[in-house]
Amino acid sequence: MSPGEMLFTQGRPPNVAACISCHAKAQSDNAQSGFPTLTGLSAEYVISQLKNFADGHRQNPLMSAIAKSITEDERSQIGDYLSKLKFPDAANVRAAKVDQGIESIVDEGAWSRKIPACISCHGTELRGVGTSFPPLTGQNELYVKNQLMAWRTNRRKGDPLRLMETLSKRLTANEISRLAIYVSTSEQSESKK
């Protein structure tokens, strides 16, 4: 078992709880809690978020305390382990009647408000691009909503170039709720591939 897998599944008592005790591997198992699914995220992304929690750019009573106890080496070990796993497919298929207003923001943007298409950074089908733009399809709805709202209300910082902070402030709260539903589900035809 790699050190990263050890940390993920068993933690390092007494200060570092096993990640998996909150972050389930399947999207559906995180739906109620709103804890993010971590498997398949890039190592760089995981490391940068652990840093953000440790230095206060991101705030969460549980994660802030745990992140402060995780050493730099351990961050890399966890990141390395998670990056080798698969990001889950969305557990739920989008409703047959797609939210077209939201779909057009995702695919084409809302340029009258300087909002680029979500796919122009998060990639085809929002499956993520490179190390800095995480996949969204397959993440749970509550988490996506909470993060967009946290950026919008200055409770989350540390994103590269303040891109998401800036863009979340151009969205309405209503759009954020609907975006979270949209991105956490998958297209009907795509899911049958």
Partner 1 sequence: MKTAGAALVALQFTLFSISAFPEARSEPKTFRPPLESALKNDKFGKMVLRGKDIFIHTKELLPENVGSNLSCSSCHLDRGRLENASPLWAAFTMYPAYREKTKKVDTFTDRLAGCFKYSMNGKAPALDSEAMTALTTYAYWLSKGAPVNTELKGRGFIKVSAHVNSLTEKNGAAVYRAKCALCHGESGEGQLSGGKSVFPPLWGSQSFNAGAGMNDPATMAGFVKANMPLGLGGSLSDEEALEVAVFVTSKPRPANPK
Residues that bind partner 1 in the complex, under the rule CB under 8 A = 108-109, 111-112, 114-116, 119-121, 123-125, 127-130, 132, 160-161, 163, 166-167
Phi-psi region of 183 (alpha: psi -120 to 50; beta: other; left: phi over 0): alpha
Minimum distance between the CB of residue 105 and partner 1, rounded to whole angstroms?
11
CA distance 100 to 83: 33
Minimum distance between the CB of residue 113 and partner 1, rounded to whole angstroms?
8
Tell me whether residue 12 or residue 57 sits nearer to partner 1 (CB atom). 57
> Is 180 in contact with 139 (CB distance < 8 Å)?
no
Beta bridge partners of 58: 156
CA distances from 91 to 63, 71, 83, 127 (A): 25, 33, 20, 14
CA distances from 166 to 151, 152, 159 (A): 8, 8, 10
Minimum distance between the CB of residue 124 and partner 1, rounded to whole angstroms?
4
Tell me whether residue 7 or residue 105 sits nearer to partner 1 (CB atom). 105
Minimum distance between the CB of residue 141 and partner 1, rounded to whole angstroms?
22
Tell me whether residue 20 or residue 119 sits nearer to partner 1 (CB atom). 119
Tell me whether residue 77 or residue 139 sits nearer to partner 1 (CB atom). 139
Tell me whether residue 84 or residue 114 sits nearer to partner 1 (CB atom). 114
Minimum distance between the CB of residue 82 and partner 1, rounded to whole angstroms?
19
